[in-house]
Structures are given as C-alpha cells and as structure tokens.
Amino acid sequence: MSSTEVDFYEILGVSRDADGATIKSSYRKLAMQYHPDRNPGDAEAEARFKAISVAYDCLKDPQKRAAYDRYGHAAFQQGGAGAQQADFGDLGDIFETIFGSAFGGGGAAGGRARPRRGADLRYDMQIDLEEAFHGKTTEIEVEVSRACGTCDGSGAEPGTSRRRCDLCHGHGKVRAKQGLFVIERPCPNCHGRGEVLEQPCHDCRGEGRVDKMQSLDVEIPPGVDNGTRIRLSGKGEAGPMGAPPGDLYIFLHVKPHTVFQREGTSLFTQVPITFTTAALGDTIAIPGLDGTKHEIDIPAGIQSGKQLRKRGGGMPVLQGRGHGDLVVEVVVETPTRLSARQKDLLREFRETETGKECPESHGFFSRIKDAFGT
C-alpha cells in the first residue's frame, strides 16, 4: 500500500473534517495494531505501519495538512521531504505509556539506566545545652564509601575500559514478548548501563568505590535544638561506578541540663526561696549559659508558683538575631529546721497577726465559718 496512491484520511480511517484529537486517537490505535513488534515477519503489517506513520506526520501538522487538502500528494513532490518521513515521536509516547519507557531507543543513551546517586547517610551526635547555646566546630569520623583511588571511580582495572554490552547491544534494556505485549526491562547483564567492564578493578571489584574512615569538620551554629538536622552535601556514600555521592545528615540530640529546661528559645528553671524572702522581697542572681549573672527582682509578698521573666536571658535564635527569655518559677520553701530563738520569734509574730497579712488564708476560713457556722 503506497502513501502516494491512497488518501491519507482513508489510511487513518477519519473524515476530512476530523479534528486533531480524532486524528491522533485513530493513529494511536492503528499504530498499536500494525506495529512490527506485534506482527513479527508480517511484511504487509510493516508496510501498513509505515503508511500510517507517513499519513499522520502530514495530517498532524496544520501547514502540511492545509497543503495536502489543496494539492494532494503533489504538494510534497517538490522538496516535499516532510511528507515522506514519518515522525515517530508520538509513537514513542504510546509505548512509553504502555511499557514505561520510550519506544525505539535507537541510540544507546535512549535506554540506558542513569547513574545511580550514592546513598544518604545519617550520623547522630549528642551535645550539651551549653554547646547548643554557643555553637561549636567539631570533628567526626564516619566510615563511608569513597571513590576508588585505583580506578578513579570507574570500576575498571587501570589500562582497561568499558565495552558495549553484548546482550542489549548498548541499549541498557531488553525486551520479552508476553502475549500481545512486549515487556521492556533493564538488561540483566549490564544492569541497565549499556556497558560492561573488560576487567573489574582489583581494589573495588568493579564497584568504583571502597569503604574508608573519613574525618569531617561539622559546624554547629548557636541556637540548635534537639532534632536539628545539619546537611553535609556530597559527604554520603559514593555512587557506584563514578556516580555522584549522596549527602550526610547530622542529627543533633541535646542532653538534659541539670538547671534549665528548654522550650523553643526560652529557658525555664525553678528557684526555691525562703519564706522571709518571699515576704520581704529581694534580688537574686541566676547564672546564665552565656556566663553572665541575670538579676531577678523578687517582689515582696510573692507566692509559690509565680513566674518571673528576664528578657534576653534565653537561647539564641537559630540563624537569626536576639535571644529568648529566661523564665524563673519561684518556689517558696517552708523551713524545717528552726532554732529555739527562731521559733520564739515566729510565735511572737503569730501573736501579732490580724489575718490581713495572708488574705487568701483569711478569706478561706471566713468562707468556712459562713458555711458551717464554726
């Protein structure tokens, strides 16, 4: 069947006023039906497939279609190479949808597996709260695969090279027919690379990488928190056979502190004070993680559980400016060991009490009296 003798619309089985979507749909169905891979050894099907491709190449292009509608095949007889060459791009789309890879693969690059990037690594590091406050630079050692120095990561023994895979002929993929479908999968001989080694490197055995201990400097910025992740680009596992390396991720774990508890950028601590300090008021000093003493004013008559805030006395803002707050929770401690003199003074004080000194206590017992008459 010659494309110069049969009408292009008739070849595709569409009317002359069919829109582009209809033409494309019909082409895809016919291309699947008459594709050589589905009709091995069928010369008529192969010729029909070529005619379908030529017809679609013309009708999918608005300019070519307009010329064909006006002049027929004669429109391409003078310099009309465009109508004589089938465009297999859309056919590739069909087989990519069905089989998961581009059809054809005329060159080795079309089907080869891309170099597989090396794996990412994780390293867990414990630091003190003081180190999280100030930040630091520290050195760690990790065992990681690096590019083989003998073969420079190629996997090939020095003096040898790679050659085209004999099984897939450099495509990196092989096909197997299952019923009406052709299944395409990575080549088992070259693992999708399209090439095999003439002789593997004696040090890395063809992997292109070897395991070794590596010392790395890690910069910990001020203000990091528990679970902060630091990424070291390109410091993970080397990729096989010269592929790019992965990344190394440092996960920070901040140890509990004996004085402070952290919530975001705020630092919390409980400060026990004597009942005389609570009654009379005073100023106390709390040593901060920055080495300075933060003075906290205790107002007279403060109650246990009251929180006092010192602006800027907390953790630094990670990758920002300023600090959080230092929050002090007051705990009024009742004395348990009193001398005879102290007891006498307290008894003397109690005799002078009117009830107004402790309004909460006085109010509670007043409510008891009103409720129960006692």
The answer to whether 165 is annotated as binding is: yes
**Sheet with 326-333, side-by-side order of all strands:** 261-263, 266-274, 326-333, 307-310
Residue partners of 23: CB distance under 8 A and separation at least 6: 12, 14, 56, 59, 60
The answer to whether 358 is annotated as binding is: no
The answer to whether 58 is annotated as binding is: no
Q: Is 92 exposed, middle or buried, given 0-12, 13-18 or 19+ CB atoms closer than 10 A?
A: middle
What is the rounded CA–CA span in Å between residue 75 and residue 69? 9
Residue 341 is which amino acid?
R
Measured CA to CA in angstroms, residue 157 lies from 116, 179, 205, 207 at distances of: 21, 43, 9, 11
Name the DSSP class of 316: B
The answer to whether 201 is annotated as binding is: yes
Least Cα distance to 267 among 216, 214, 204, 312 occurs for 312
Name the DSSP class of 192: T
Place of tokens 């010392």: 215
What is the rounded CA–CA span in Å between residue 374 and residue 366? 9
What is the rounded CA–CA span in Å between residue 286 and residue 274? 16
**Sequence ranges of the binding site for Zn(2+):** 148, 151, 165, 168, 187, 190, 201, 204
**Sequence ranges of the binding site:** 148, 151, 165, 168, 187, 190, 201, 204
